[in-house]
Structure formats: structure tokens, C-alpha cells
Structure 1
Amino acid sequence: MTTAKDIMSTGARWIPAHETLDRAAQMMRDHKVGALPVSANGEQDRMVGIVTDRDIVIKCVAAGHDPSKVTAGDLCDGTPRWIDATAEVEAVLDEMQSHRIRRLPVVEDKKLIGMISEADLARHLSDEQVAGWAERVYSYT
């Protein structure tokens, strides 16, 4: 049985909701990631969302806002999604497909321990599993 913990990338980093998007972009660059879970101010065990590099470009820069003034929390909307480290791969795929998300934080004992991205799926799953996932996540129906 392959679990979320088996396929995740380790070293996921939080960004506090009060941090600005220019700081988020710097963290993404420094850690070579495209997304950061956003924590409630001062509470790294409570996720309020995820900010992605695409969010920064589309929702901030392209909208004419200053990334040194907009916070990570400003971009968070909806219910944050995550998966338990012991969840089987099928549950990971179901969660990502049903919510059409490309990155999924992995939690163990209420602590962030990693992130699952498209690259992780491609490295660890069969071609059929990846193709099925991509079809559901990227389809526009």
C-alpha cells in the first residue's frame, strides 16, 4: 500500500497570512517550490489556504496590485484542502481530482510534513494513474 507520505516531497514551508506576496515569492524562489501553505497568523498548525506562484502573478501583479502590500492571507479563499500522511494514493488522487487542485499539503499528527505536486505524481505513479488524474484535473467540463 502506497501512502501520501511515500510520494510527497519533504521540506514544505509555511508562510504566515500577514506576510506579503513579495516575501512569498522570495520564499518560493529560495526553496524552489511553486506553492506555500498559508498559516493563521502565529499558528503554524492551522492552515487558512495555499498561495501559488500563479496566484501572485494573476491575482496580484496582473491585477495591478503591489506585491509588497498584498498579503498571503489576502489571496486565500475557499476551504483549504490537505491529506493525512497515512492516506492511500487513491485517496490522494480522489482529493486532488474532486477539488481540481495540483498541489496537496500532507499532514501528520496535525503538522505539515510535506506537499504532493504534479511532479510527485509523475515520479511515483503509473502512466495510467497520472493520465487519469490529469484528465480529471485539467478538463473543463
Structure 2
Amino acid sequence: MPVARDIMTASAECIGAEDSVLDAARKLTDLGVGALPICGTDDKLKGVLTDRDITVKVLGKGRDPQQTKAGELAQGEAVTIGADDSAHEIFTTMARHKVRRLPVIDGHRLVGMVALADVARALPDPQVGDLLEALSTD
């Protein structure tokens, strides 16, 4: 079975915790992705910022995306996966935490991102259905 480093998108780019949400939105657009890891000035992962976070937590609440810092949207400790963890472990972690994207860590270093679509391609068909069902329930 493939491991995270086999199916991830390598060299994920971070948005700085002190960067504005507007900068994050531009970076999401430029990279054509739906999520960015949030990294602090200490180069440690602080969380993940998604396009949905920007829509719901900033725009939907009337906050100014130019004045709101990306780090303000980080929620506790980021859920991650190890670079050598199996596709099954990624599946389990996504389902347990109800997330569709995971930062991939090698030691303490961010090495990539793995998305639901990556896992879907790596898992047998019945497990993909189970994962989608788990992510879709409240």
C-alpha cells in the first residue's frame, strides 16, 4: 500500500501566520489550491487555512481580509500525517478528524499536502466510499 510521500503533493507552500487573509486568498488563487498550511515565524506548522475558512470565518462575519491575520484562523494544533504513514492511516485520520486535506510531516518538517482526491486514487474502491461517507456525516 502506498504511503503519504507517494501520493502527496510535494513542496507545499505556507502562508505566514502574520500574513493577511487577503494575501492567503491571492496565494490560494495563484497556486490553484483550496488550502494552505499556516506557518509561524518559528517555521512550525500552526494550522491549515482553507478557502472555506476565508468565506465563512472572515467574509461571512464581515471581517476585513486585509486586516485579519492568517494565524487568527488556526484552530488549535494542526492535524497532520507522517510521510511514511500508509494510505489506510491517512484514511483513518481524515475520517476521525473530518478533514479533507492533511499536511504531511517528515520529522518536524512540512514536506507536502495530501488531499482526499490523492487518497481516493490510492485506496481500493470500497474504502473510498467509506471515507466519503465518514467525511459527509455530522
TM-score, scaled relative to structure 1? 0.92
AA matched with 2:101:
R
What's the counterpart of residue 18 of structure 1?
Answer: 18
Task: For residue 137 of structure 1, report the CA deviation from its aligned partner.
Answer: 1.3
1:123 equivalent among 113, 121, 138: 121
- Post-superposition Cα deviations, 1:52-109, rounded to whole Å, max 9, x if no partner, equal 0000010000111110000101111122111110011111111111111110011113
Task: For residue 16 of structure 1, report the CA deviation from its aligned partner.
Answer: 1.0
Correspondence list, 1:76-91, <5 A: 76-91=74-89
What's the counterpart of residue 35 of structure 2?
Answer: 35
Separation in 1, partners of 2:109, 2:89:
19
Q: Conserved in 1, the CA contact under 8 Å of 2:87 and 2:119?
A: no
TM-score, scaled relative to structure 2? 0.94
Secondary structure, aligned partner of 1:43: coil
What's the counterpart of residue 60 of structure 2?
Answer: 62
Q: Conserved in 1, the CA contact under 8 Å of 2:20 and 2:68?
A: yes
Q: Structure 1 runs of 4+ off > 3 angstroms?
A: none
Report the aligned-residue RMSD.
1.1
Aligned length: 138
Task: For residue 111 of structure 1, report the CA deviation from its aligned partner.
Answer: 1.4
